[in-house]
Chain A
Amino acid sequence: MDREDLLTLYRQMLLIRRFEERSAEMYALAKIAGFLHLYIGEEAIAVGAIAAIRADDYVISAYRDHGYCLAKGADPGQVMAELFGKATGLCKGKGGSMHLVDAKRNFMGGYAIVGGHLPLATGLAFAVNYQKRDQVVLCFFGEGALPSGQAHEAFNLAALWKLPVIFICENNRYGMGTPVQRAVALYSNVAATARSYGIEAEPVDGMDVLAVRALMRRVVKLVRSVPHPYFVEATTYRFMGHSMADPAHGHYRTKEEVEEERKRDPLVLLRQSIMNQKLGTEADFKQLEREVGEMVAAAVKFADESPFPARTALEEDVYIE
Chain B
Amino acid sequence: MLISYREALNQAMREEMRRDDRIFLIGEEVGYYQGAFKVSKGFVEEFGSQRVLDTPITEAGFTGLAIGAAMAGLHPIVELMTFNFGILALDQIVNNAAKIRYMSGGQLSVPIVIRGPGSAAHQLGAQHSQSLEAWFCHVPGLKVVAPATPHDAKGLLKSAVRDQNPVIFIEAQLLYSIKGEVQEGEYTIPIGQAELKRQGKDVTIVAYSKMLLLALEVAELLAHEGIEVEVMDPRTLKPFDLATITASVKKTGRLVIVEEGWRFAGLGAQIAESVYSEAFDYLDGPIVRVTGADVPMPYSRPLEDAAIPDRDRVLAAVRRLVKGGN
Contact = CB atoms under 8 A, between A and B. Distances in A.
A89 B64 contact: no
Interface in B91-125: 91-92, 95-96, 100-109
Interface in A129-148: 130-131
Interface in A90-107: 90-95, 99, 101-104
B108 A108 contact: yes
A1 interface: no
B56 A156 contact: yes
B283 interface: no
B24 A130 contact: yes
A153 to B, nearest CB: 3
A123 interface: yes
B66 interface: yes
Interface residues of B, number: 39
Contact of A116 (B72, B74, B95, B108): B95
A318 B143 CA distance: 11
Contact of B140 (A101, A131, A318): A318
A206 interface: no
A60 B72 CA distance: 12
A152 to B, nearest CB: 8
B180 interface: no
Contact of A150 (B64, B70, B103, B105): B64
A156 B62 CA distance: 10
Contact of A119 (B92, B101, B102): B92
A119 B71 contact: no
Contacts of B72: 58, 108, 123-124, 127-128
A165 to B, nearest CB: 10
B71 A123 contact: yes
Contacts of B67: 119-120, 123
Given A116-B96, A127-B73, A94 B108 contact: no
Interface in A278-305: none
B179 to A, nearest CB: 34
A111 B96 contact: yes
Nearest to A317: B106
Contacts of A160: 56
A126 interface: yes
Given A154-B64, A320-B164, A130 B105 contact: no
Nearest to A92: B105
Contact of A156 (B58, B66, B68, B100): B58
Nearest to A58: B72
Interface string B41-52: 000000000100
Contacts of B100: 109
B106 A92 contact: yes
B141 interface: yes
Contacts of B69: 123-124, 126-127, 130
A153 B60 CA distance: 7
B61 interface: yes
Nearest to A163: B65
A139 to B, nearest CB: 10
Interface residues of A, number: 45
Contacts of B129: none
B165 to A, nearest CB: 5
A191 B282 CA distance: 67
A103 B108 contact: yes
B63 interface: yes
A61 interface: no
Contacts of A320: 101, 109, 164-165
Contacts of A92: 105-106
A318 B71 CA distance: 15
Given A150-B64, A317-B102, A320-B164, A127 B140 contact: no
A157 interface: yes
B160 to A, nearest CB: 13
A60 B104 CA distance: 13
Contacts of B143: 319
B271 to A, nearest CB: 20
A319 B141 contact: yes
A74 to B, nearest CB: 12
Given A101-B108, A103-B108, A91 B103 contact: yes
A55 to B, nearest CB: 15
Contacts of B60: 119, 149-150, 153
Contacts of A119: 60-65, 67-68, 92
A310 interface: no
Given A122-B64, A157-B58, A94 B105 contact: yes
B103 A122 contact: no
A116 B107 contact: no
Contacts of B165: 319-320
The 8 A-B residue pairs with the shortest CB-CB distance, nearest first, are: A123-B68, A119-B64, A153-B61, A127-B72, A92-B105, A91-B105, A120-B68, A103-B107
Interface of B: 24, 50, 55-56, 58, 60-74, 91-92, 95-96, 100-109, 140-141, 143, 164-165
Given A118-B64, A122-B61, 6 more contacts: A91-B105, A99-B104, A103-B108, A127-B74, A130-B24, A130-B69
13 contacts: A94-B104, A99-B104, A109-B108, A120-B71, A120-B96, A123-B66, A127-B69, A127-B72, A150-B61, A153-B61, A156-B61, A157-B65, A320-B101
Interface of A: 58, 60, 89-95, 99, 101-104, 108-109, 111, 113, 116-128, 130-131, 149-150, 153-154, 156-157, 160, 316-320
